[in-house]
Structure 1
Amino acid sequence: MTERRFGLIVIGDELLSGKRQDKHFPKLVTLLHARGLELSWVHFIGDDPALIQRTLGETFASGDIVISCGGIGATPDDRTRECAAAALGVPLARHPDGVAELEARFGRPIKPDQRLRLVDFPQGSTIIPNPVNRVPGFAIREHYFVPGFPNMAWPMMEWVLDVRYPQLHAPGSRVEQAISVDGAKESDVIPLMERFVEGHPELRLSCLPSTEPHGFRLELGLRGPADAVAAGMEEIRAEVERLGFAWTPVTPPPEEDGSPV
């Protein structure tokens, strides 16, 4: 089976203006990594209906598994629900399970009426439970729409990964290793990298150059299946030594717990 790709869309003018800093990107990377999965792409976009609709039209057609954060409230600047419906060519419909969740949270009848807009979802959607205030997100065509608030979005992301995609989980199956090569420039290792990429298509090879006060330095990294990474890194270390460069292992930084601040 072809490996599934995960994508992230984060919506909000406040992010692009710098008023708020995004926390969803690093959190989703952490959640995926813990399950042996990885993020393939991320889009940050503002509250522009035409742009949201165009972006969703492209991602619905991609076949990717997509989590979208933000823009599903009831105020006029929350446009994600309408844009998702327009991108799919379906109407919005009040979701009965969503109404039941609101009634459990706010009582019956729901007042004010504007609250019911919170569960107007593209026709054919299912709901994503919200453990914080019971106002649900929605899912359609392997796109999962959650609020912008981290304390709500993050457990909803976990629910999506654990309830909808447990069959994709493979904890510990994908790893990353890197070495630091002192004195080397990119041009010194390009032939090495070209040979390696051709011979190991299952691995992702990266090169991060930097300049130091005493000269050049670069970091060569490998990401992929654990056994293949171990063997591939041994090959790279040997090649680096043959080129006459010394190397040291790079210790990855400790993972943050991702708690909201």
Structure 2
Amino acid sequence: MSAANDPRGEDAVTAAVLVIGDEILSGRTKDKNIGFIADYLTALGIDLMEVRVVPDIEDRIVAALNALRADYTYVFTTGGIGPTHDDITADAVAKAFAVPIGVDPRAVAMMRERYSDADLTPARLRMARIPAGAELIANPVSKAPGFRIGNVHVMAGVPSIMQAMMDSLAPTLKTGRRMLSETIEAGVGEGAIAEAFAAIAAANPDTILGSYPFHDGTRFSTRLVVRARDPERLAAVAAEVTAMVAALPSKP
């Protein structure tokens, strides 16, 4: 969809999330970050447009980063900035931006708030390796920082730490107009409303319409969601959908 035809508008602030880690793909670790980031960005008026999950393979991380950072206003990564040998996100980001990487004195200073010099082992100092030119993202939980370079924001995979990093970096983000939404309960399955709902969507290309089927324990039903940035357009199209539902034959 071209920007001209995208109901989000040409001035929309967009984002992608890149989840990094073999443990996510194997199912050993269940991702708890995507939903949080989606809610957080929505509240800021930033449209999350894409999520990718890649293994701990440098070339795969680099390729995904370069594709996503070219397409969206922001990229947020989670995972792979810890102290172990398979934490290779920082190196992959440095490679994607073609910059050197090394132990950053600023990161070491942050980590000294938690660790003594004796505790700053070579493994822990891996968490202080930052690509050249990057800005640090504060980590009030465990002190090892994330970092931002270009439009890429690199955060931890541990949910509590990632959430604290999001709070730290949020004031630096460009925000957009919030996407508003209204939900209409159809009371019938998707098949009963698909044609009429599609017609409303086609007639209102400046809004986003979605249908979400569910089973209420007795029967199938559908929630119809209208999304728009303009409250008047939201109200007008939601009224069309409500009228369409009201005109349906009596529900069983």
Q: Secondary structure at the match of 1:104?
A: coil
Q: Which runs of 5+ in 2 are unaligned?
A: 1-9
- The one-letter code of the counterpart of 1:221 is V
CA offset at residue 234 of structure 1?
Answer: 0.6
1:1-261 alignment to 2 at 5 Å?
Answer: 2-108=11-117, 111-161=120-170, 163-165=171-173, 167-168=174-175, 173-186=178-191, 188-209=192-213, 217-225=221-229, 226-244=231-249
TM-score (norm 1): 0.80
**Structure 1 residues 130, 185: closer, same or farther in 2, change over 3 A?**
closer
Distance across 2 between alignment mates of 1:103 and 1:216: 57
Residues 148-176 of structure 1: CA distance to partner in whole angstroms, max 9, x if unpaired? Answer: 11111101112222x212x5165xx4332
Tell me the C-alpha RMSD between the 2 structures. 2.7
Q: Which runs of 5+ in 1 are unaligned?
A: 248-261
Distance across 1 between alignment mates of 2:146 and 2:135: 9
**Structure 1 residues 78, 197: closer, same or farther in 2, change over 3 A?**
same
Q: Secondary structure at the match of 1:217?
A: strand
Give me the identity figure in percent: 27
Which of 231-240 and 107-116 deviates more?
107-116
Q: Secondary structure at the match of 1:176?
A: strand
CA contact (8 A) 2:226 2:234 kept: yes
CA contact (8 A) 2:139 2:168 kept: no
